Amino acid sequence: MSKRHFPKVRAAHFSAGLFVLILIGLLATGCIGDVDTPNNTLAPEGEVAEKQRDLFMLAMWPALVVMILVEGGIVFMMLRWRRRSNDEMPKQTHGNTPLEIGWTIIPTIIIIVFVGIPMIPVLFELGRDPKPDAYPVTVTGFQWAWQFDHPEVEGPDGQPVVEIGELHIPAGREIAITLESLDVNHSFGVPRLAGTRDAIKGNTNVMWLKADHPGSFSGQCRELCGIGHAEMKLTVIAQSEEDFDAWSREMAAGTKSVPDSTSEDTVAADSGE
């Protein structure tokens, strides 16, 4: 039986590979950028967005630890047991049943106990229907804008107040969102307040969100819905109870004041990434 010859791992090749990995890591750190950007999901300003960020972190950190351990073990074995010039062919093995059972069951138990169980109540909380006392808003997507109907605020004509592209809500109060579409599929999302939910023609979806404090928050359609998709932006303006009541009275009277964009509570609502 002829001996097999494996390519040698040269120190220069290993160093080059290590340099490339370090370079990729350095480039990746440049993607972090400024955390105070309008569409940064890791800088939540609402209860739903905060819970979603926590779920992401809960899944990411164990995965990162596992990746480091696995990759570190691979690199260690490559260096420790690499083939030398005079080495004979090592004994060939075809599996280790106890070891394979162990590294399947143990990680599964760790994931269930430390990741799965803590996630379950949060997922149920995020996926529940809005509370009965939540402020209702009907959100309708169409090519290419968002329409917001306020059933609890009547205009001069006695019909619910309608906004296009701009949604006023009371800060600190749960908002019940009913999602609809007039044409193709759209996806409603305000990253710093809540995740996305699809608006599908013929179906009605619901979600809830809450702004922690007064401010202005940007959002955008997250579903490619046609040539005007990039312009399908929205702004959620969360107001104090006093300011929201004043806005409601203005809408009932058929007037509208320009919000003070210099307020210290205002979060930049530019939908640029």
Whether pLDDT at 40 is above 70: yes
Alpha carbon distance 136, 178 (integer Å): 8
* Whether residue 118 is found in the same domain as residue 149: no
Residues 178, 150 contacting (CB under 8 angstroms): no
* Whether residue 140 is found in the same domain as residue 121: no
Tokens of 161: 């107040």
Considering the chain, what is the average pLDDT of its residues?
Answer: 83
Whether pLDDT at 268 is above 50: no
265 belongs to a structural domain: no
User: Looking at this protein, which amino acid is placed at residue 137?
Assistant: V
**Segments forming the whole domain that contains residue 141:** 135-253
Task: Give the pLDDT mean for 25-36.
Answer: 64
* Whether residue 228 is found in the same domain as residue 141: yes
Residues 176, 142 contacting (CB under 8 angstroms): no
Task: Give the pLDDT mean for 92-107.
Answer: 84
44-79 pLDDT, tens digit per residue, is 899 999 999 999 888 888 888 888 888 888 888 888
* Whether residue 118 is found in the same domain as residue 157: no
What does the CA dihedral 136, 142, 144, 146 come to, rounded to 10 degrees? 0
* Whether residue 146 is found in the same domain as residue 211: yes
Alpha carbon distance 104, 92 (integer Å): 23
Alpha carbon distance 238, 173 (integer Å): 10
262 belongs to a structural domain: no
* Whether residue 105 is found in the same domain as residue 162: no
User: Looking at this protein, which amino acid is placed at residue 212?
Assistant: D
pTM of the shown model: 0.74
* Whether residue 146 is found in the same domain as residue 241: yes
Residues 6+ apart with CB under 8 A from 17: none
Total of domains in the chain: 2
What pLDDT sits at residue 273?
A: 39
Task: Give the pLDDT mean for 213-224.
Answer: 92
Whether pLDDT at 267 is above 60: no
100-141 pLDDT, tens digit per residue, is 898 889 888 888 888 889 999 999 999 899 999 999 999 999
